Structure 1
Amino acid sequence: MRITDHATWDWGFPVKYLLVQEDEDGVEELWGRCAGVEGLFVDPVPPPREVLTLHGCRPDGLLSEVLVEPDVSLRGLGDLCVEVWHDEKPVQWWTLVDAVVVAHQPHSADPARYDIVLGAGVRSEESFFELPAVPRFELFGGTTIAAASAGRCSAVNGLFKARVDPDPVPMQLIGCEPAEPLLAALRRPRRWERDWASLLVLDCHGAVMASRSVGLAVTGARPSVLGGTLVGITLTDGGDERPSLAARPIWAEWCQGPPAEPNLWAPHDSQGRAAWLDLTTRAWRVPAPRPDRSGGEYHLDG
């Protein structure tokens, strides 16, 4: 499928989004094109707060620093990553969201270790295997890019229990011109409840600036507020890859096309820079402004 074949239409407003799906051979098929999307930018719903205990913990880094403060409960740890290890490799990853030390005391079997009570939201990131018979727990604090050791412990009470997934956040396709596959899905919505497609976000020049996965389960369809034969479609699940509300101005900058000069990202805060970096790594369909070059000297600014 060529993007340029579908980036324009006869309506008095531009195409801004394409809904496409890959078949088993990796060939993309157009499902529809849209004038707008409501619900593309969504702040994630934080997980509910829970109480967990790190048993037999040897704190390190930030966690060690926090424990020596007079009132540890006044200082948060940020997000704490818990890696569950089996022998020489990690097999599960968990995030303790916005973790706070509630209390701590020396471990009964080893006064050099601590039992640390935390308040945090709990999010499971990835699990390759079942819990090992004798797991080891490694703790890390900071961002994914610059995570630093926060210690290790022998057990994390309260980590392994059933949790209810939050309800999916819907997304509305506004001014949508459905192609035949989407029309078929509207006629038989139950058939596509478990299927996913890619929502391609076009910049002001009709090039793809980003791609996000969305569920094809349809909550409802109706005549579009933009009139004509266009329709408005509500997708039950807009996916969990959506950018945050803070990323909206970054996307507005990129809508004009890839940056033509260096350091335009520099004035943004850390969240804005992360959104900028996300676009640079996801805009894989955008042609480079000039050919790649090899050899010679390259100076890295910073």
Structure 2
Amino acid sequence: MSSSREPALRWLLNDEFSDELEDMDPMWRPLGACIEVDGLFADLPDPPLERFTLIGCEPAGRLREALIRQPLLGDVFVEPVRAGHVGDYTWLWDVTVVAIDGDRVELTGRVQQDRHLQPDTETPEADEFRLTSGDDTLLARCRTVGGLFRERPELDRPPVTLLGFRPEPWFAALLSTWRPDGGEAGQPDTAQAGRLGVVPSDGGKPVRLAATIAARASDGRELSTLQPGVFAHVLAVRPSRRDPDLLDVELDDGVWEPIPAEARELWDRWMDRQPAELGTWVPLAPHMRHEWLRLALAGHRYGAHPDRAPETVYRLDGRHVTDMDAFFCAVGEAINGPGGYFGWNPPALEDCLRGTWGAATPFRLIWHDAEIARRHLGADDFAMLVGWFTEKQVEVVLR
């Protein structure tokens, strides 16, 4: 029996990865919408301290010195080299030299939490491996690195379940070809599936879902999560507990980069209503201000309105600019008002200063209480911030 009230399908999944999109304009298509993306908001475990062995090692520079005096190396990049070509690096941090035995050097360190920076699960084909520091200084060459290239299930993302999912017709047709391994368990109810267009076929094959994820705000705006999305196979399809006319679709993998669980409340607020007052970011913990900036960018309508005229005067409230994220929150609101966006890192700010993001150069930026930022960020970083503007014909007035 259908529910009398239309469910709020607040999460949108868009296909931007299928091969057939190459011949489509625009090069994306809706995949479906759901009430909830279980697994989108999650806190990942901190990578544990691990032990690695450089085999056939030839220490150089800082690593040779570390064997004698200072064992702490910090950030280290491991790169495979084959036929003179340097492959993709693996970024280790908190690296320390703990032992040496002939041409074997023992290290401890941690892999990165971000999935795209983690080591491959199998050792890459290489003639040798190069270890470098952050400034590309050579630390060592070795034949291989024991203990580095392996699976790390402890760092897996929680698998996603699309709760209360309504597929688009093309994806409903694809779901109709799905069969669980080994029989009928998990197959959608035939009558209910038929209402959604998911009519099981006689064959059956794996169904892969690859989609970006966006939220649908109460006013209809889309708020992109600004992350690659989810790439996974369907494990189970069943009638949804949220609404009998929808599906719950269980996947075998998580989103590429989950959003911190603490940010869920912030997303709910922005989905209900974008900030109407200045400074709603101020009470947030420093690490959550980056999530506020993610939403400010997601909510910005690029090119929707013409830039304000050159020579406009903007006022930056600097009372709470105590770190870089706070600066970007404050300058976004100085230019574009409550919840406004004008960059969330240096390259993004440079892009905004080229135009179509709310302000046309040249303009004047009056920075009130600028001394607070100078004190917290340090003279060098503060001068760098001011320089970003002056290089783009912005007059910065410090008050």
Shorter-chain TM-score tier: 0.5 to 0.7
- Structure 1 residue runs of 5 or longer lacking an equivalent are 1-9, 110-114, 141-147
Who is 2:160 aligned against?
171
Identity, % of aligned pairs? Answer: 23
State the alpha-carbon separation in 2 of the partners of residues 265 and 233 from structure 1.
35
Q: Give the equivalent residue in structure 1 for 2:12.
A: 18
Indicate the residue corresponding to 2:321 in structure 1: none
C-alpha distance in 2 between matches for 1:28 and 1:284: 20
Rate the CA distance shift 1:242–1:224 in 2: closer, same or farther, 3 A. Answer: same
> 1:181 is matched with which residue: 155, 170, 176?
170
Matched residue count: 267
Candidates 152, 158, 166, aligned match of 2:139: 152
The amino acid that maps onto 1:247 is A
Alignment of 1:105-144 (within 5 A): 117-121=107-111, 123-124=118-119, 131=126, 133=127, 136-140=130-134
| CA distance 1:284–1:57, shift in 2 (3 Å) | farther
Give how far 1:158 is off: 2.3
User: 1:101 corresponds to which residue?
Assistant: 96
CA distances 1:176-227 after superposition (whole Å, capped 9, x unpaired): 2233223223321264534412222222322111245223522212222233
Aligned equivalents of 1:84 and 1:259: distance in 2? 48
Which one has the largest radius of gyration? 2
Who is 1:297 aligned against?
363
Higher relative contact order (CA 8 A, sep 6+): 1
Shift of 1:16: 0.4
Corresponding residue for residue 43 of structure 1 = 43
Gaps of 5+ in 2: 113-117, 179-203, 307-355, 368-384, 386-399
> What is the letter of the counterpart of residue 12 of structure 2?
L
Deviation at 1:237, TM superposition (A): 2.1
- Equivalent residue runs for 1:10-89 within 5 Å: 11-22=5-16, 23-24=21-22, 25=24, 26-45=26-45, 49-53=49-53, 56-59=59-62, 68=70, 77=74, 80-82=76-78
Post-superposition Cα deviations, 1:91-129, rounded to whole Å, max 9, x if no partner, equal 321122x53526257x989xxxxx66224347228xxx9
Which residue of 1 is the match for residue 216 of structure 2? 202
SS at match of 2:13: strand
Query: Is the alpha carbon distance of 1:116 and 1:218 closer, same or farther for their aligned partners in structure 2, counting shifts above 3 Å?
Result: closer
| 8 Å contact kept, 1:192–1:216 | no
TM-score of the superposition, structure 2-length normalised?
0.52
Alpha-carbon distance between aligned partners in 1 of 2:125 and 2:279, rounded to the nearest angstrom: 45
Q: Compute the RMSD of aligned alpha carbons.
A: 4.4
Greater strand percent: which structure? Answer: 1
| Structure 1 or 2: more helix by fraction | 2
Contact between 1:57 and 1:116, CA under 8 Å: does it hold in 2?
no
User: For residues 102 and 246 of structure 1, what CA distance do their matches in structure 2 show?
Assistant: 36
